[in-house]
Amino acid sequence: MSRGLILMAGLAGVAGTAGLTALVRPGAARRVLRLPARAETVYALRIGGMMALALGLLLGGFAATLTLSGAAA
C-alpha cells in the first residue's frame, strides 16, 4: 500500500467522521468549535457537515477503487 493511498484513506475517515458528527449533532459541533448558539450557525454547520461527509465518501471511494483494481500495489 503506498503512502498516498494511506493518506487518502485516513483523510477520508477523518473527514467523514467529522462531517457526520456536524451533520447529525450540530449542537455538539457548535460547542466544540465555540460558536454562538444561533439558527444560522446550526444551518451552516449542517451544510459544512454534508460537504465534509461528501469529501470523505469521495476519497474513500477512490481509495477503495485503487485498492480493488490493483493500482495501489
pTM of the shown model:
0.84
Residue 42: count of CB within 10 angstroms of its CB: 16
Please write the tens of the pLDDT for every residue from 16-58.
Answer: 999 999 999 999 999 999 999 999 999 999 999 999 999 999 9
Cell of 20: 457526520
Decide: 56 and 12 in contact? Cβ < 8 Å. yes
Q: Please give the Cα distance from 60 to 71 (Å, whole number).
A: 15
